Amino acid sequence: MIDIKNITFGYSKYCNVLQDFSLQFKKGGVYGLLGKNGTGKSTLLYLIMGLLRPKQGEVRVDGVLASQRLPEVLQDMFIVPEEYDLPRISLKQYVKSLKPFYPKFSDELLARCLEGFDMTPDINLGSLSMGQKKKVYMCIALATNTDYLLMDEPTNGLDILSKSQFRKVVIQSMSEDKTIIISTHQVHDVERMLDHVCIIEPNKVMLDAPLVEKDEPIDLEKLFIETLTNKKVEE
């Protein structure tokens, strides 16, 4: 479980992005982390990874302080940031350098995820387009087989077909002990794959609830607007 308790964090001493903020992510399932620009969604992911440290409060992953960045905790966590670059080496070389840090890394899962994106393992990372790099990196992230996987705007830069492939690849790689947290503004890209949604405002959780589909798929955009405005959206 990820337990965020009464944290305060700001990039300057004059302005806090999060203040006295609390939230929990129980183990298992795909979470959607939604909110307007500037509400601290990306910041929250980096705090969970221990890459940022709160001024006050604490973030614990399975009872351990995230800020300690202990190897035994980090080997079960992986983050896909919104922006990143990859070295100009082969995928095989990159995976070889990564494997020692992630003991549950699965070559079989990597091959399956790549196949889901119509890609092969014999590629050079330096020769890929930005969209291709994003797909490869998400395959690598899933193949690390960590208990916790955090994704920040994972569908940005993907075409329509790739977004559909992304949903299938993530769902097919899930197991009961995995927790995926997806921070996004592209709600329609992920609404069919979420088990749980968290909608946040600055310093406040507006909605923290499981998604239960009935006869019709859930309209996450409508839910988002109604939650933040407290007004019913007309069909």
CB 230 within 8 A of CB 207: no
203 found inside a domain = yes
Q: Which amino acid is at 226?
A: E
DSSP 122: -
Instruction: Identify the pLDDT of residue 231.
Output: 60
44 found inside a domain = no
61 found inside a domain = no
CATH number of the structural domain spanning residue 210: 3.40.50.300
5 found inside a domain = no
CB 183 within 8 A of CB 41: yes
CB 202 within 8 A of CB 38: yes
Task: Report d(CA 22, CA 178) in Å as an integer.
Answer: 22
Task: Report d(CA 41, CA 227) in Å as an integer.
Answer: 17
74 found inside a domain = yes
49 found inside a domain = no
CA–centroid distance for 40 within its chain: 14
Please count the structural domains in the chain: 1
Residue 142 CA: distances (Å) to CA of 28, 189, 204, 220: 15, 18, 30, 24
11 found inside a domain = no
64 found inside a domain = no
Strands ordered across the beta sheet of 18-25: 18-25, 2-9, 56-61, 64-65
Instruction: Identify the pLDDT of residue 12.
Output: 86
pLDDT tens for each residue of the chain, 235 residues long: 999 999 999 998 888 899 999 999 999 999 999 998 889 999 999 999 999 999 999 999 999 999 999 999 999 999 999 888 889 999 999 999 999 999 999 999 999 999 999 999 999 998 888 889 999 999 999 999 999 999 999 999 899 999 999 999 999 999 888 999 999 988 889 988 899 999 998 788 999 999 876 556 678 888 888 888 876 655 5
Instruction: Identify the pLDDT of residue 31.
Output: 96
Which structural domain, as residue segments, surrounds residue 150? 28-38+70-229
Nearest to 48 by CA among 21, 30, 67, 29: 67
Task: Report d(CA 142, CA 30) in Å as an integer.
Answer: 13
Instruction: Identify the pLDDT of residue 8.
Output: 94
Q: Which two tokens stand for residue 17?
A: 């992005």
